[in-house]
Amino acid sequence: MTANFTGGCACGAVRYECDGPPMFTWICHCRECQRATGGAGGVNAVFLKSAVRFTRGAPKYHDSVGTTGHKTHRGFCAECGSPLAARADLFPEIHGVSVASLDHPEQVRLDAHIWTASAQPWDYMDPALPKFPGTPSAEDLATLAAARASS
């Protein structure tokens, strides 16, 4: 299958391809994503894990334990520090890629805001999008994916 989405880090040491459209996209406003990106949070396009492959290099992962007690793995380029990917043990079948690292981030539309309980007061959240105060449930993820598929 031809990759529909491609991307990589700022220096070119890491490149990836994603097959098909994302299941959904979101901005995560948790403190870890704020720290990892240096901004309001991490904007991720979420794919099935099997749809994401690194074609040059590989991210270096930093692991942290979230409030659910499960690990989250954030991938960065070891050379330039660009945020590239996110995985969570809570949902092992999915893999997020940083929208900022896509070659064409304009192809992505935002579907939801998560971890809104940690959002900074100066952060704007689109009032039309669903908001989750913490980690969405598996049912919430299925609802987001179904909404995207039907649009």
- The pLDDT tens digits along the chain (151 residues) read 456 899 999 999 999 999 989 999 999 999 989 988 899 999 999 999 999 999 999 999 999 887 778 899 999 999 999 999 999 998 999 999 999 999 999 999 999 999 999 999 999 999 999 999 999 998 999 999 998 888 8
Element (H or E) spanning 75, and its range? Answer: strand 71-76
Query: Residue 31 has which token pair?
Result: 């403190």
- Residues whose CB is less than 8 angstroms from the CB of residue 11 and which lie 6 or more positions away in sequence, other chains included: 77, 79, 80, 82
pLDDT of residue 58: 96
Total domain count for the chain? 1
**Its pTM surpasses 0.85:** yes
Whole-number pLDDT of residue 151: 81
The rounded distance, in Å, linking the Cα atoms of 65 and 40 is: 20
Q: Which domain holds residue 32?
A: 5-150
